[in-house]
Structure 1
Amino acid sequence: MPISRIVIGSPAEVGQVDALKAGLAEFISMLIFVFAGEGSGMAFNKLTDDGSTTPAGLVAASLAHAFALFVAVSVGANISGGHVNPAVTFGAFVGGHITLSRSVLYWVAQLLGSVVACLLLKFSTGGMETSAFSLSSDVSVWNALVFEIVMTFGLVYTVYATAVDPKKGNIGIVAPIAIGFIVGANILAGGAFDGASMNPAVSFGPAVVSWSWDSHWVYWLGPFVGAGIAAVVYDTFFINQSTHEQLPSADF
């Protein structure tokens, strides 16, 4: 089982130069992703009077997030692995591909990147609200939880198949595109129901800046559960390594 290969690491690992560079890369990649993704929704609201909740707004959000994530993963891939998502980092940790110490560093960097991106958006738009993720009026927290679990499962399964699997071969070249596409597709599927986060950091930044925490736990529990299931399933059935081996950042 992949979970048997979990490695805690040491606090000293966080202070190593390569780890700090990786953390900085995650911060910058998350800032790029959230600024473009959240900013697209704010721009659509400005141009169409709260039109981000319309079908056209949903398509615009899907495209913006897909394009931005493709870039954010690509620019961070050779330094940190381009996780750009605490749930992806958790999935890599469950599979034994990153230590807990480095995971915590990534989580802090990712959350800070999201918050800074939202603060920059609020400042540069003259105080426009960075809308926090929320549930549709006819969707319960349990409905939303299932949405987040399933969507994040698809995302992390894609990450494993295209970026983590040692057998990936040349398909690793298209990993950022595949990851961006699955996020864009999931936004089209779940955006009208719960906003389709799949990423606790993406939910955290707007929640902090707007100080709106309604049902916020859904956007943490769902992605982490989905990521953990995807990691266990893919690693158990398709990788099935018998020993722990930390993957180099060039591979993930």
Structure 2
Amino acid sequence: MGKSNIQDVKQGSFWRACIGELLGTLFLVLVGCGSCLDANSSTVQKALGFGLSVATMAWILSNVSGCHINPAITLPMVVTRKVTIVRGLFYIIAQIAGGVIGAAILKGLIPSQYHGALGATGLSPKVTVAQGFGIEFMITFVLVFTVFASCDGKRNDFNGSTPLSIGLSITMCHVFAVPFTGASMNPARSFGPAAVMKSFPNHWVYWVGPLLGGLVAGLLYDFIFAANASVEKLKACFTERDYDNDKFPKDGVTALNGSPSELKKIETE
């Protein structure tokens, strides 16, 4: 991670990143939920509304904050020590605030006859709470697994667009899950409209399901499927004070010993 929690907060880039997370989540909720307000909106229209919104925000904000705009992405990033605890906490606060502000702006911009539930997520009448939890867990798993795989800097098999791959994963999961849970995958996205409309039926599903699904996906990718996954990396993440993911080279070869030139030779052999 490099910087400590205290050093993190002292950086001007830290506060710029927090503002980026707020704005990114704001526009995700504004445009994504806005695509749901027309009674004739199709599942594909909603899926594209959210998928393209995330892809666009990722294109704009990746170099500013990493463009998490989702607590279910930030949590596994903290646990795998890609961001500090303090940064993760401030990101989540900014995301929640952005979701509420985005929903409030949406409510003010759209005529009242279109408001409905303001794009709030909810379980279909025939979907049980357990099923809803399971759906949100699985689709968030797909999203976060895609995020971690797309941001794996030690991969050299694909050189495509990271924002596009993430946006497509969201679109894919929406096509499946919109009829059943509304396809949240994002607690801040669900909380914004729920708070503005003061309606929270089964709301815990949209926190616990995505957060657990994202956490499992992040841990599974980073320590088993990442290009530099290894037992040494796993141990270091949870035991070393100054853990650094970059010191573990591709294919699980430990970088704890040896000069940079020697490590480069090992990686290419």
Letter in 1 for 2:205: V
* Structure number with bigger Rg: 2
Residue 153, structure 1, aligned to residue 141, structure 2: yes
- Which runs of 5 or more residues in structure 1 are unaligned? 46-50, 248-252
Same amino acid, percent of matched pairs: 32
The change in CA–CA distance for 1:182 and 1:143 in structure 2 (over 3 A counts) is: same
Residue 115, structure 1, aligned to residue 115, structure 2: no
TM-score if structure 1 supplies the norm length?
Answer: 0.85
Among 122, 126, 132, the residue aligned to 2:120: 132
How many residue pairs match? The answer is: 231
Among 144, 162, 167, the residue aligned to 2:154: 167
How many angstroms apart in 2 are the aligned matches of 1:140 and 1:238?
Answer: 33
On the 8 A contact 1:88/1:156 being kept in 2, the answer is yes
How many angstroms apart in 2 are the aligned matches of 1:151 and 1:144?
Answer: 11
Moved more, 8-17 or 234-243: 8-17
Moved over 6 A (4+): none
Q: For each residue in 1:166-192, what CA deviation from the matched residue of structure 2 results, as whole angstroms up to 9, or x when unmatched?
A: 213484651110110011110111111
Q: For each residue in 1:182-229, what CA deviation from the matched residue of structure 2 results, as whole angstroms up to 9, or x when unmatched?
A: 111101111111111000010010000111100000000011111111
Alignment of 1:79-228 (within 5 A): 79-127=64-112, 128-129=115-116, 130-163=118-151, 165-169=152-156, 171=158, 173-228=160-215
Letter in 2 for 1:32: F
On the 8 A contact 2:22/2:94 being kept in 1, the answer is yes
TM-score if structure 2 supplies the norm length?
Answer: 0.80
- Which runs of 5 or more residues in structure 2 are unaligned? 237-242, 247-269
Counterpart residue number, 2:14: 19
On the 8 A contact 2:124/2:181 being kept in 1, the answer is yes
Residue 113 of structure 1 aligns to a residue in which SS? helix
On the 8 A contact 2:143/2:170 being kept in 1, the answer is yes
Counterpart residue number, 1:33: 28
Q: Which has the higher contact order (CA 8 A, sep 6+)?
A: 1
Instruction: Give the superposition deviation at 1:231.
Output: 1.1
Structure with greater proportional helix content: 1
How many angstroms apart in 1 are the aligned matches of 2:225 and 2:191?
Answer: 33
